[in-house]
Structure 1
Amino acid sequence: MKNGFVSRLPAWLKRWEWILAALIVVVYIIFSRMQPDNYTLPKLLNQTRVYMVDVGFMALGMLMVLILGDIDISIAATAALSATVMAVTYNEGSGIPFGAAIVLMLIVGIVCGFINGLLVTRFKELFPMIITLSTQTLYRGIAYIILKDQSSGRFPAWFGKSLGYGSVDILGLQVPIMLLCFLAVLPFYYVWLHKTASGRRIFAAGTNLVASRYSGVQTDRIKVMAFILNGLMAAIGGFFLVSRTGSVKYTIATGFEMQAIAIAILGGASTSGGRGSVVGLLLALILMTGLKNGLMLVYNDAFILNLSIGLLLILIVLVPNISGELRRRNAIKRQRLNLHKA
């Protein structure tokens, strides 16, 4: 039993989630020593509302799209359009009830995702990036037509006070309510994606689309469903973003699509499909939150922050590819040696 555990230990340690966990510890140790008064757990928890929750929901939706080998550049524009519809229909209290405006916002996200999924499955000769880049322009353009260059705000008091900036005392720590909402979704998403037949079909379709289609898997339906869920998550991300900012402009969430893609890939997903992990995505979010907060405390320079994050992401994306290529070459060498011995 002992030998079996020891023999399995290196495989466990090579899992990408363990590497991310180790990086989180390293980042925390470095910045807590550089900024002992400011880089603390209570302050990091407070920063999750800025760096983690809204883009985290978008990354969750993006994860399933990436597992299928697709990509969606329009999620930030979907969030902007959904939030715009919510703000305009509520109309600072003189329109429909806020609950109904929220439902409309979610419907807009679902419709945007459905349009993306329909276009991707109907026009297979086009790359999903090209299709969603086009719909990104469309969705944000509609948001601009509705709002022009104005902003819309004045939501119910609880929306910003409780959801946007409210917190709950847990073991002496002030945990943001929006963070608790995000964490509450993760177990259900994990079980559905990793432990159900639907989730296994998603991974199978992402690994080999043609084989999955021949085995009876309705790959087009799965893709449309993935884009619909992605649109819904984008709308939810926009909802939490507005609760923090307090107003909506057509430019809201600009650049969030790249952050969501980067976090999903950092968490273990692949643009070629077939790989992805909810646990890895959560760890990637924690790592990015800690890293961004630490860099801003030390340098207080957005340019250095973006440069450092960009270089780190390039390095982290390259390392698995390089290690995979090395493993492939070693396997080929072993096969050749075995052939010579035979």
Structure 2
Amino acid sequence: MSKKLSISLIIIVIILSGLWIWTLAIPKGAIMLGGSTSVNPIMQSLTSEYKRDKNLEFIYNSTGSRAGVVGVTSNIYSAGFISKETDNSTLSGTSAEWSGSGKVTDEYIITKTLNSVNILPGYYSFQFGIDALILFYNQPNGWNDRLSDALNFELTGDALPDALQTDILKNIYDASYNWKKLANDLYVMQQKSPPLTPPITEEDVNNVQATSILPISREDGSGTRDAFSSLTGVTEVTNANIVSSNGQMLSQIKSNVGSFGYISYAFISSIRDNLKMASIEGERLDPDDLQHNKNIIETADYKLQRPFTALFEPETKNFAKLRDFFVWLMSDDSANESFVNEGIIKKFILTGRP
């Protein structure tokens, strides 16, 4: 047995032990769900509304995307939630298999499929929303609005005057970069490609101290980290401080001047004052303009985004109740209010063949 496989099995055993202990505290009659910490805010809102409407309690355990997969494939969760794209590797390390059912995007057909007595056995992926990721930082002494406006990351590199900015994010997560070097690099890039915003001056650069940038990342197995890595190309984070939730990420960035990290859009209202957001391919989210944010996420003009997805198997004992919950969140007005309040864009895709 390879060392990598042994470590994976140990992780699964640890996750299962924790989930089993957690089940002992669940109220009688409640249906257990769990997984991604990023999905937690919207699921807490949706399950609370559903309990008020239907008098049926779903309990969501915020344990991380990997634990969501392990929990549902071990029949501990009725559905496991992840915050990243599903593919053939999603079920790796388990004995579970996809159903093989094709992709459905029409809500009426999804409802018919879920209600069908002939629904194929095996696991399904049910995408129900889109979440954006935010690159944010606690600005250092001397950093100003002109520098903030210039901090823009191109994920594809197609619009860059040179390769310099493609490497900036990787340099930050190498922990070998400082804020003055970043300010100077932004200044150099603006000389090659004049900006629409007020230009950075040499004085702006000189006012920034050469304080090291403290990179902060999420734990291995986190859907947020997987989405960040796949979208930005930053896969090496061994020099970064590691946190295990969005809440911890926010707390660490707030507490450390000069730190840099990424977080789920659900936390945008907390990114104010000395905390600043970077632009993505010229688009920046705004904590005070939710309609603007909805528009650029929905149209995919804001590129740093990922799906919220539930994994389930229709032969489990609670599937009928889970199915009714899924149909409700696609169509009910109170469910729609939860999506709006949490900043999640509704998008439904059902497939057994990722």
Relative contact order (C-alpha < 8 Å, sep 6+): which is higher?
Answer: 1
Say yes or no: TM over 0.5: no
TM class, shorter-length = under 0.3
Higher strand proportion: 2
